[in-house]
Amino acid sequence: MANTSTKVKVIFGDASLGLRGTNFGYIFSYDRGGLESLVQNGKEWCYRIPRPAFWRATTDNDRGNQFYVKSAQWLGADLFSQCVKIEVFIDGQSVGFPISPENNKYSNQEYATKAAVEYTYETATTPATTVTVRYTVDGTGSIQVAARYNGAKGLPQLPVFGLRFTMPTAATGFDYDGLSGETYPDRMAGGVPGTYHVDGLPVAPFMVPQECGMHMATKSVTVNRDLTLNNADQSRDTFRLTFKQTDKPFAFTCLPYTPEELENATHIEELPLKRRTIFTVYGASRGVGGIDSWGADVEEKYHVSAEDDIAFGFTISGPEG
Amino acid sequence: MKAEISWLDDPEVFRVNQLPARSDHRAFQSTAEATTKQSSLEQSLDGDWQFKFAKTPQERPAGFYDPDYDRSKFDTIAVPGHIEIAGYGQLKYINTTYPWEGKIFRRPAYALNDQDTGKGMFSEGEDNTVGAYATTFTLNPELRDKRVIVQFDGVEEAMYLWLNGQFVGYAEDSFSRSEFDLTPYLKDGENLIAVEVFKRSTAAFIEDQDMFRFSGIFRSVRLVAKPAVFLEDMTLRPDVSDDYKNGDLNLALKLSQTDDAPDAEIRVKVTDGDGREVLSLAKPVANTVSFTDNAFKNVHLWNHMDPYLYHLQIEIVTTAGETLAVVPYDFGFRKVELKNKIMLLNGNRIIINGVNRHEWDAHRGRAVTAEDMTYDMQIFHENNINAVRTCHYPDQIPWYFLCDHEGIYMMAENNLESHGTWQKMGAVEPSYNVPGSVPQWKEAVLDRARSNYETFKNHTAVLFWSLGNESYAGDDIAAMNKFYKDHDDTRLTHYEGVCRNRKYEDQISDMESMMYDPPLEIAKYLENNPKKPFVDCEYMHDMGNSLGGMSSYNDLIDKYPMYQGGFIWDYIDQALWTEDEVTGEPVLRYGGDFDDRHSDYEFSGDGLLFADRTPKPAMQEVKYYYGKHIN
């Protein structure tokens, strides 16, 4: 492979766009409608495709002030929004949606400085709106992710807007550069900036499981795992994936459960075994509130309007970090 | 006197043969004992008692207190502890509505009609479980040939007491210490003490706190021997001069003596924090003895940052030189004032960085341990919490001493909450409110104020007396306020419920207290010629994942001098360790998890701590904001 070390190899598949390089291989699926495979150093990081995140497990305050009723549509959107459009960009130029026979013109020796796939998701809401998620990959395997929510009049306030990854196995822990503890837009003054290690995937044991584990104002976070689902890989050596800020710090949660799993439990012991890592990066989150738990709204400046656009981004580091 | 079960139905009967409430000092036989805090005048009755549970008063083992009664079929139960946690009686959590909601129709006696005596309401209550407790004791040698009283630190919610088959007395008010004189009934050798505990009485209407509803002897029980001369009560008044430089100690003592008591004198000694003697006085014993106007020049004041205490030691010594009793008591000099509508401590504006603290232990319910208290105090210090409201009842006595020593400002609340009589589905509907202005309920609530005042009047940490919680307002609560005012001009009174009935606002509460008022509403109050300084007796409802928006309250502190902070609701989640019915694993369970209905379910979990006492993630926010105005 001559002079390709800074370029990314592009596989124009019939059901996906493959992007490969030294110690990485990514599959952007057309039929699944998202990033189906993210392999670095031989380890898979995607169990299912990342999906736009709109819901948070109802907090006691959300229940008390009826936010969960008013914004119930976003639960459906969180579960059921679907991919409606896919567009591929090579070195910044759109090549449309290059499936067969259009892709017959390519070879097994296609390289690009940058290749990007943009997925458009339509929300299961009334009215419906769209979210775009664009992944731009360079020759080092670094993935720049840009997500955009398109505001639409008439939609109820959002619990959150983010991008949720489902990793095949439970993380052994994570390390991040951000604020201490668990922080929210209206509860982050007490967070002390620093680098922190968290063992395992702790779930704050609220009596009724609910939204938890948010880390605001994060510059980078590395998820550590030591187990794959690959039958040919019995190693328990730790391997890592790092998410870092592109321009601005981001918020994230790293939990063993989806918001829907948390939502459904009345006690922590009803939650399933910790099998996966549910890792979500957020561009926006509603505050948790605190005035009372039977009607007081979250202060207005901590609402997330669904009528305005929301854009955010972050970068997944390539295999060399 | 004969015990009458009808007392359970009568709001005018709430203490029978109980000794008057008095200071919570302890007595020791020697200075050495006083140093180690092990008093040979006391004999604990904690431990396993014989026990028989009955589902209703009619099924109770009548006459079980008789020495000849066959109690061989009785179980045993741990004292202190709750009957329900021991496995008898259903666990239940409920907030506002009464625990019999949907099962029994009840209205408080005399509330709707002064002919309605409530006869049979509780004495024949199908939900009124009964615990028959019995144990035997032989007096320790140090207690023999002395007058002996028994102290019950907490029995929920009505108790009858017998010694050796003879009726001694009756008490309500689950959270105040009840004392009875056993001397006339004691005998040599083994004595049989028996207590019949009823889960319900008229007290149920005024003990409707948002909590698990328990019954039983849930705090310690002990015998206390009184030497021939005994310090029954004392009132310490460590006053501070107007320029906050000098102290002035006044002591009023009440003593009792046996007929054959030897001549004795009272010696009063005060040492400072370094052990240097700063006062030494003596007077002959009399029924009342006062030591007035003892100047402390350049006195070292007490506050949160510097909880400096002086050590008072009172000794009763016979003319022959025999020490009969030693009573130690640590106290501080501090001055609470309301000046220009701002509450001051030692001349400085008070900022309350407070929490409401229910007594809670996930294994033991409200029967908290000394370890729990020590731990809680450490949590307070780590997170800049400088104040506690004893919601909504008096706590165990050691907690007050701990607060003195650790500089925690106390809003000492007496045992009263009756929101079920006036809050209906969130609306204010006081048609059958008690105590209200119902005359037959007045003495019961006044007694609760009196017990609270008399027991805790010497605690430096107590800056505020609180008249209870969410009980609306009327003549009876106004009388409680008057009681505190008549007896104590060194502290301020607090009561939130008066904001529901403004007619009484000039008679009740020195401060404007609201709960859960949004910051914007508080600002409105403070900008419209407010009458009183403002305190949030409950705010930042920390249910589940909450505590957002604290900065808006913090801003009020900076902007309005009359805003004086508040008490977060609340300190710890109320959940109980139990065994998972499927896996057998230990799990924490809350309201409704015991098939208890009607319930308020997870509303029992509003703490800064999870029920297992680990802090919730939100705690760092408390530490941050409370650290901004710590004083």
Alpha-carbon Rg for chain B, nearest whole angstrom, is 24
Q: What distance in Å separates the CA atoms of residue B57 and residue B3, rounded to the nearest whole number?
A: 14
Q: What is the mean pLDDT of residues B2-21?
A: 98
pLDDT at B313 over 60: yes
Contact B548, A190 (CB under 8 A): no
Q: What distance in Å separates the CA atoms of residue B605 and residue B546, rounded to the nearest whole number?
A: 11
> Scanning every residue of chain A, which has its alpha carbon at the shortest distance from the alpha carbon of B627?
A190
> Scanning every residue of chain B, which has its alpha carbon at the shortest distance from the alpha carbon of A213?
B617
Amino acid (one-letter) located at B73 = K
Contact B204, B123 (CB under 8 A): no
DSSP string spanning A32-72?
A: TTEEEEEEETTEE--SEEEEEE---PPPHHHHHTTHHHHTT
pLDDT at B394 over 80: yes
pLDDT at B9 over 70: yes
Q: Which of residues 108-167 of B touch A (CB under 8 A)?
A: none
Q: Which residues of B does the annotation mark as catalytic?
A: 470, 538
Contacts of B616 in chain A (CB under 8 A): 204, 206
Cβ <8 Å between A204 and B545: yes
Residue A3's pLDDT is 44
Cβ <8 Å between B547 and A290: yes
Contact B91, B576 (CB under 8 A): yes
Q: Token digits for B548?
A: 């957002």
pLDDT at B59 over 90: yes
Q: Say which of B547, B552, B573 has its CB closest to residue A207.
A: B573
Residue A2's pLDDT is 40
**Is residue B588 within 8 angstroms of chain A, CB to CB?**
yes
Chain A / chain B CB contacts < 8 angstroms: 127
Q: What does each C-alpha distance from B577 to B297, B367, B557 come to in angstroms?
A: 53, 14, 39
pLDDT at B367 over 80: yes
Residue A5's pLDDT is 62
Residue A1's pLDDT is 40
Share of chain B above pLDDT 90, in %: 99
Contacts of B544 in chain A (CB under 8 A): 59-61, 206-208, 210, 293
Q: Please give chain A's pLDDT, 321 residues, in tens.
A: 444 468 999 999 999 999 999 999 999 999 999 999 999 999 999 999 999 999 999 999 999 999 999 999 999 999 999 999 999 999 999 999 999 999 999 999 999 999 999 999 999 999 999 999 999 999 999 999 999 999 999 999 999 999 999 999 999 999 999 999 999 999 999 999 999 999 999 999 999 999 999 999 999 999 999 999 999 999 999 999 999 999 999 999 999 999 999 999 999 999 999 999 999 999 999 999 999 999 999 999 999 999 999 999 999 999 997
Q: What distance in Å separates the CA atoms of residue B541 and residue B556, rounded to the nearest whole number?
A: 18
Tens digits of residue pLDDT in B223-280 = 999 999 999 999 999 999 999 999 999 999 999 999 999 999 999 999 999 999 999 9
Residue of A292, A294, A299 to mutate, interface with B, max B Cβ within 10 Å: A292
Shortest distance, CA A284 to any CA of chain B (angstroms) = 16
Tens digits of residue pLDDT in B350-364 = 999 999 999 999 999
Q: What is the mean pLDDT of residues B509-513?
A: 98
Q: What is the mean pLDDT of residues B130-153?
A: 98
The model carries a pTM of 0.97
Domains and CATH numbers, chain A: 8-317 (2.70.98.10)
